[in-house]
Amino acid sequence: MSLNIFEIWDGIGRQTPFAVRRDHWGEEQHAVVERIECEKLPYGKAFGYPVVNGQNSDRFEYDEQWRNEKLIPCCGCYQWTFIEDAEINKDKKLSDQYRKRLNKALSIFSKLTFGKHKGYTVEQAFLQNNQYIEWALLNVEKFCLTKEAIHLLEGMVAGFKFPDQIKRINDQKLLLCLKE
């Protein structure tokens, strides 16, 4: 039987962080709940971040409240399961480093701040001219995409794949962002 996030939180002794998965998500996906605001069970607000394949992810960045406030969507729905064996990063410093990197690495919803597509989202610029995004990855020093953004963009145009060289350059830029 599925529960909502607040019932799970209550059932594990009101401890955070903990991991949960919605019933329709794949095994590779879950959310880490970092904070709960609950005045009266079984409802409230749950805050956290998504994880895909063991890595922090921007997979659910389309949800503006999750992206901006870390408010987990549908947290009161009875569609959640506690993930007991999920590896949860309790090291706040590393979590802050990840957030810093995500703030510099762009998602498909991030707006470009340079060039002829300034003001467009990465997705809009890519759909207009996918070579522009490749050019930016090669030539604009501070331009990098999250791994999830690369994956999502590759799925938007049939048969399109970023060349391995561009993916390596993007990965190097992501590492540099993490060190800054």
pLDDT in tens, the chain (180 residues): 578 999 989 888 888 999 999 988 888 889 999 999 988 888 899 999 888 887 777 666 667 778 778 899 998 999 999 988 777 754 443 444 444 444 477 888 888 988 999 999 999 999 999 999 999 999 888 888 888 889 889 999 999 999 999 998 888 887 776 555
Query: Which pair of tokens denotes residue 65?
Result: 């409240």
pLDDT of residue 60: 65
Do 136 and 154 reside in the same domain of the chain? yes
Do 107 and 163 reside in the same domain of the chain? yes
Do 105 and 163 reside in the same domain of the chain? yes
Mention every residue, 6+ apart, whose C-beta is less than 8 A from residue 55: 147
Of 90, 105, 120, the position where a domain reaches its end is 90
User: Which burial class, exposed, middle or buried, applies to 140 when counting CB atoms under 10 A from its CB (0-12, 13-18, 19+)?
Assistant: middle
Q: In this structure, what is the dihedral angle of CA atoms 163, 26, 34, 40, given to the nearest 10 degrees?
A: 150
Do 111 and 84 reside in the same domain of the chain? no
Domain containing 70 equals 5-90
Do 111 and 169 reside in the same domain of the chain? yes
- Give CA separation, 180 vs 88, 90, 94, in Å: 24, 21, 13
Do 43 and 98 reside in the same domain of the chain? no
Do residues 3 and 80 touch, judged by C-beta distance below 8 A?
Answer: yes
Do 86 and 103 reside in the same domain of the chain? no
pLDDT of residue 59: 64
Do 101 and 62 reside in the same domain of the chain? no
Do 50 and 126 reside in the same domain of the chain? no
Do 20 and 81 reside in the same domain of the chain? yes
Q: How many domains does the chain contain in total?
A: 2
Do residues 18 and 89 touch, judged by C-beta distance below 8 A?
Answer: no
pTM, rounded to two decimals: 0.51
**Which DSSP state fits 63?**
S
Of 71, 90, 109, the position where a domain reaches its end is 90
Do 71 and 117 reside in the same domain of the chain? no
Rounded to 5°, the CA angle 150-154-156 comes to 120
pLDDT of residue 98: 44
Of 56, 90, 124, the position where a domain reaches its end is 90
Could you give the CA distance from residue 116 to residue 163 in angstroms, rounded to a whole number? Answer: 23
